[in-house]
């Protein structure tokens, strides 16, 4: 049986791995046109090292880290409520205020910093997932799987409509309306030279123009949130089940975790390998790419994420120097997540170094280990002197309605 501190440490370490992994796939969305993220042939290179990097991310990271992070969000929801009620506060009130403050941060992030925000989605999904917090483990698992299925069905309907739009837009004598409907949908993953030039001009222009563009497309954050909410709620509920069952908190023995990892990771890898092979053989036919990743791969990515958790938790037992650094990055995940947006937009956007659209896929990824090193370097020393990361402290203070004590009364030993 793990101690309480061990169990919290395991959550922090998984969260640290997840926030680092998320940046390794988000980097493409920072560095080049949207279409390049799912369609390497659209921009950024899809041969040699560029193809190898894309395939490696698809096999090992893409989707799995977001899944882990979402499950951890559900687990942390229960932990925060328990601690609030232990301090004689109202758990529901604390949670709702936390989500509303998170929503505010997410809107600021989306409109003023980067369009790829996930905080709004988490805040809205967290308000709904919270309603099921008292369910037993088995019902949380069943309900979480049901939400995942709903998300898969919704995406299936969207993919079918896009398939029809593709046929209509490329049929002989296609109307301008049919072509527009396709280009406004998944057709935008095949950008023209003019669209690429327009996109580069926007991102290499002024910060105010970027903000104006985000404000002009203010509905995008609503659409993205509604589309991904069923999947995210489902993952949060599975995270709650993982917390209540003791799986995510390190209460299982190492042999049990080893069995989960040995079964789950190969299953996920096999499915993702099939998707990678299909994407390449189809020359990245975007409807097939999307359908494979957001529909067919969903259960396998979820299984693989549980396998990763089962692999990470035993490694957290000894709390070695690297594990402590990663766990500290996880405790400061909110600050690190927003920090990566500031660093990456500075490197690639016009208000900073202006490298947007001028590097290949593998060249853009060179920023990832640099940012990982920054996360691992600052997080642990900071938390030896302070109780929270900077933005974690602001989040907590705003949610509680008063400034929270920041500095530690007794410094933690350095290592």
Q: Choose among 397, 326, 407, 415: nearest CA to 104.
A: 397
Asked whether residue 3 carries a pLDDT value surpassing 80, the answer given is no
Region 266-293: mean pLDDT is 95
What is the share, in percent, of the chain residues with pLDDT greater than 70?
97
Residue with tokens 């956007």: 349
Name the H helices within 245-285.
254-281
Q: Is 383 within 8 Å of 412 (Cβ atoms)?
A: yes
Q: How far apart are CA 43 and CA 259, in angstroms?
A: 41
Q: Is residue 409 in a domain? A: no
Is the pLDDT confidence value at 150 over 60? yes
Show the 3-state SS of 163-181.
HHHHHHHCCCCCCHHHHHH
Mean pLDDT to the nearest integer, 313-338: 94
> Is the predicted pLDDT of residue 412 greater than 80, yes or no?
no
Range of the domain at 267: 4-400
pLDDT exceeds cutoff 60 at 257: yes
- Does residue 270 lie within any of the structural domains? yes
CA distance 317 to 213: 47
Mean pLDDT over the full length of the chain:
93
Averaged pLDDT for residues 58-75: 96
HSE-CB for 219 with a 13 A CA cutoff: 0
Collapse the DSSP code of 386 into the 3-class scheme (helix H, G, I; strand E, B; otherwise coil) and give the result: strand
Summarize pLDDT for 9-57 with one digit per residue, the tens. 999 999 999 999 999 999 999 999 988 988 899 898 889 999 999 999 9
The stretches of 135-253 forming alpha helices (DSSP H) are 137-169, 176-184, 193-203, 207-216, 219-244
DSSP 190: S
pLDDT interval class at 87 (50, 70, 90):
confident
Mean pLDDT of 123-139: 97
CA distance 222 to 259: 40
Bigger pLDDT: 245 vs 400: 245
pTM for the model stands at 0.94
In a domain, 162, yes or no: yes
Going from the C-alpha of 17 to that of each of 65, 69, 273, the distances in angstroms are 8, 9, 22
In a domain, 407, yes or no: no
The tens digit of pLDDT for each residue in 167-187 reads: 999 999 889 999 999 998 898
Sign, CA torsion 133/135/137/140? negative
The pLDDT-based confidence of 413 (bands split at 50, 70, 90) is low
Q: How confident is the model at residue 231 (pLDDT cuts 50, 70, 90)?
A: very high
Measured CA to CA, the distance from residue 378 to residue 187 in angstroms comes to 42
Mean pLDDT of 114-129: 96
pLDDT at 219: 87
Q: What is the pLDDT of residue 254?
A: 95
Q: What is the pLDDT of residue 7?
A: 45
Residue 150 lies in a domain: yes
Cβ 96 vs Cβ 127: under 8 Å: yes
Nearest to 58 by CA among 324, 279, 220, 260: 279
CA 178 to chain centre: 33
Mean pLDDT of the region 81-92: 89
Which letter does DSSP use for residue 407 in this model? B
Please report, rounded to a whole number, the percentage of residues in the chain having pLDDT higher than 90.
83
Q: What is the pLDDT of residue 411?
A: 56
Report the distance separating Cα 351 and Cα 368, nearest Å. Answer: 20
Q: Residue range 380-408: average pLDDT?
A: 92
Instruction: Reply yes or no on whether the pLDDT at 109 is more than 50.
Output: yes
**Residue 185: what are its φ and ψ, rounded to 5°?**
-105, -130
In a domain, 298, yes or no: yes
**What tens digit of pLDDT does each residue of 196-209 get?**
999 999 999 999 99
Would 414 be classed as within a structural domain? Answer: no
Quote the number of domains for the chain.
Answer: 1
**Residues in contact with 4: Cβ distance below 8 Å, sequence separation at least 6, in sequence order:** none
Query: What does the pLDDT read at residue 401?
Result: 87
- Asked, for residue 411, whether it belongs to a domain, the answer is no
The number of residues making up the chain comes to 415
What pLDDT, on the 0 to 100 scale, is given for residue 8? 81
Residue 1 has pLDDT above 70, yes or no: no
pLDDT score of 267 more than 70: yes
pLDDT for 2 beyond 50? no
């Amino acid at each position: 049986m793990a101690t309480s501190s061990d169990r919290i440490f395991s959550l922090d370490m998984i969260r640290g791995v997840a926030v680092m992994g998320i940046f390794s796939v988000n980097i493409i969305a920072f560095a080049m046109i949207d279409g390049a993220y799912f369609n390497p042939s659209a921009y950024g290179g899809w041969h040699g090292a560029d193809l190898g990097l894309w395939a490696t991310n698809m096999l090992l990271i893409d989707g799995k880290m977001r899944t882990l992070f979402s499950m951890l969000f559900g687990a942390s929801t229960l932990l925060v409520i328990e601690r609030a009620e232990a301090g004689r506060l109202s758990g529901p009130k604390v949670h709702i205020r936390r989500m509303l403050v998170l929503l505010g941060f997410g809107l600021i992030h989306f409109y003023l910093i980067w369009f790829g925000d996930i905080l709004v989605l988490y805040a809205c999904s967290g308000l709904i997932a919270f309603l099921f917090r008292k369910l037993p483990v088995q019902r949380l698992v069943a309900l979480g799987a049901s939400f995942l299925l709903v998300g898969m069905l919704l995406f299936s309907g969207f993919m079918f409509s896009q398939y029809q739009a593709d046929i209509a837009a490329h049929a002989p004598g296609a109307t301008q309306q049919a072509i527009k409907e396709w280009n406004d949908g998944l057709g935008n993953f095949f950008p023209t030279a003019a669209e690429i030039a327009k996109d580069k001009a926007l991102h290499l222009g002024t910060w105010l123009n970027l903000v104006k563009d985000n404000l002009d497309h203010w509905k995008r954050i609503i659409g993205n949130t509604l589309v991904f909410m069923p999947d995210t709620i489902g993952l949060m509920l599975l995270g709650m089940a993982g917390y209540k069952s003791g799986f995510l908190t390190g209460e299982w023995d190492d042999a049990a975790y080893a069995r989960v990892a040995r079964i789950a990771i190969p299953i996920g890898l096999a499915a993702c390998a099939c998707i990678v092979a299909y994407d390449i053989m189809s020359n990245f036919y975007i409807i097939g790419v999307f359908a494979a990743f957001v529909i067919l791969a969903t259960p396998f990515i979820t299984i693989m994420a549980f396998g990763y958790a089962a692999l990470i938790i035993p490694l957290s037992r000894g709390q070695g120097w690297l594990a402590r650094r990663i766990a500290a990055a996880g405790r400061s995940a909110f600050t690190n997540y927003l920090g990566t947006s500031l660093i990456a937009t500075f490197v690639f956007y016009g208000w900073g170094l202006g490298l947007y659209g001028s590097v290949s896929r593998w060249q853009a990824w060179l920023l990832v280990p640099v940012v990982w090193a920054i996360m691992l370097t600052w997080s642990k020393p900071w938390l030896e002197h302070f109780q929270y990361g900077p933005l974690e402290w602001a989040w907590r203070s705003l949610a509680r309605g008063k400034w929270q004590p920041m500095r530690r009364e007794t410094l933690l030993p350095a290592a």
